Amino acid sequence: MSAQTDSNSPPRPGWLRVIAVGRNPRVTLIRILILVAACFVVFKFILLPLRVTGISMEPTCKDHSINFLNRLDYLAHEPQRGDVVGIRFAGPHVVLMKRIVGLPGETIAFVNGEIFINGAPLAEPYEKNPCDWTLPPEKIGPNEYFVVGDNRTMPPQDHVFGRVERERILGKVLL
Amino acid sequence: MKIFWRLIFCAAVIALGFWLWTAIFPAPEKVIRRRLEKLAANVSFAADQGNFSRLAGGESVAGFFSTNIEVNINVPGHEQVTFASRAEITQEALAARERLKSLSVKFPDVNVTLAPDKKSAVADVTLDAAISGGHDDVVQELKITFQKTSDGWLITRIETVRTVATFRFTIAAPAVASLWRGKPVEFVASGSYGVSMVICRRLQL
């Protein structure tokens, strides 16, 4: 009886076909379509893949490394101190990567390479390259953040840093 | 079933008509985007490009600008560029072809805002330029003003947009300047904008 049932059942697909298209090609196709759609939505609108060019965020982000920018992170809360963020120019295709060190309304100053927020020194465990920057206190606007790179070995005039408007911050960089 | 195919046919005809209409009469925003793409292509030149095509490309750049122009491009770490006439633009475009091995200019992000009278428009663009021999690419946000003329949309003004507001070096310039070793006071007091920036480009899917 059991031998009869086996002979009536469809033949088992070959192992090569199973590897290529699965046991059920229709289900495999649906899975592929769902996966492609999910990847498109995630990497187009939520996690933007970025290729880093430049050295001012070293050693946190190496030149030519690949990172992801999470655009949903700041929907629930505002950017925090210590966050590495993507800052847009005219659009999202080229962004500036910097670390937030000053929050809205604070006063920031550099004294012998150390950052002072409202007169108190800021602990920066991520800062591996000591610098000797000394810059006068600067008041950050109500809708602004103060951003700077982690690599401060160059003179300050050779480093892009300063106040950015909140609307320019696209999202948080995943490290 | 016949009605279904008729509806499909009607939808296809409407779509084709719409496509033809937009192809023949493109929206001003689209025209400006195309102008910027062409401008970037004409400003750019490759190392292996022949002298004749280099010369032709350089001379054609001025055609994108109006006769009365105000161009002020201040890119961090580079000399400030100002132009007031088409002749100056042609001269600089040709000089750049002499001076540099290659130059690749792109506008990866373009946002066009049309004036209510539809006679002028402002394009907020990201300039991304790769210069031969340069360590980092030049990336700068620019505001480009277009005017509609009988010759099409022409550029009347280019100004630099500050993405990051620089530290105000001028507040205590002499005191701060004295802390720098080997840097002249004037340079510090000028409030120079930085050059070392981490630029990230979106990987295209």
Higher pLDDT, B31 or B165: B31
Mean pLDDT of A158-174: 91
What integer pLDDT is reported at residue B136 of this predicted model? 66
Query: Given an 8 Å threshold on Cβ–Cβ distance, is A95 in contact with B165?
Result: no
Q: Which of B128, B164, B175 lies nearest to residue A96, judging by beta carbons? A: B164
Between CA B16 and CA B24 the distance in angstroms is 12
What integer pLDDT is reported at residue B153 of this predicted model? 93
Instruction: Render the burial of B22-32: b for 16+ CB within 10 Å, e for the rest.
Output: eeeeeebeebb
A29 plus A74 within the same structural domain: no
Interface test with A, best of B167, B178, B201, B204 (most A CBs within 10 A): B167
The closest of B114, B140, B137, B136 to B125, measured between CA atoms, is B140
Q: Scanning every residue of chain B, which has its alpha carbon at the shortest distance from the alpha carbon of A107?
A: B167
What integer pLDDT is reported at residue B81 of this predicted model? 83
CATH of B27-163, one of 3.30.230.70, 3.65.10.10, 3.40.50.300, 3.10.450.50: 3.10.450.50
Query: Given an 8 Å threshold on Cβ–Cβ distance, is B203 in contact with A66?
Result: yes
Higher pLDDT, A34 or B203: A34
Mean pLDDT of A64-73: 91
What integer pLDDT is reported at residue A33 of this predicted model? 96
Residue B151 has pLDDT above 90, yes or no: no
B196: Cβ contacts below 8 Å, ≥ 6 apart:
A54, A55, A56, A149, A151, A154, A158, A159, A160, B136
Domain containing A38 equals 2-43
pLDDT tens string A116-138: 999 999 999 888 877 888 888 99
Mean pLDDT of B99-126: 92
Between CA A76 and CA A98 the distance in angstroms is 21
The closest of A151, A168, A138 to A52, measured between CA atoms, is A151
Q: Which of A9-13, A32-36, A123-127, B136-140 has the lowest mean pLDDT?
A: A9-13
With a pLDDT cut of 70, the percent of chain A lying above it is: 95
Q: Scanning every residue of chain A, which has its alpha carbon at the shortest distance from the alpha carbon of B183?
A: A155
Query: Given an 8 Å threshold on Cβ–Cβ distance, is B198 in contact with A96?
Result: yes
Q: What is the CATH number of the domain that holds A79?
A: 2.10.109.10
The total of other beta-carbon atoms located within 10 Å of residue A73's CB is 17
What integer pLDDT is reported at residue B200 of this predicted model? 60
**Sign, Cα dihedral of B153, B88, B100, B97:** positive
Q: Are A46 and A68 in contact (CB under 8 A)?
A: no
The residue with tokens 């939520």 is: A46
A98 plus A25 within the same structural domain: no
Per the structure, the count of domains in chain A is: 2
Interface test with B, best of A87, A157, A163, A175 (most B CBs within 10 A): A157
Give catalytic status of residue A56 as yes or no: yes
pTM above 0.90, yes or no: no
Residue B166 has pLDDT above 90, yes or no: no
Please list the residues that pair with B44 across neighbouring strands.
Answer: none
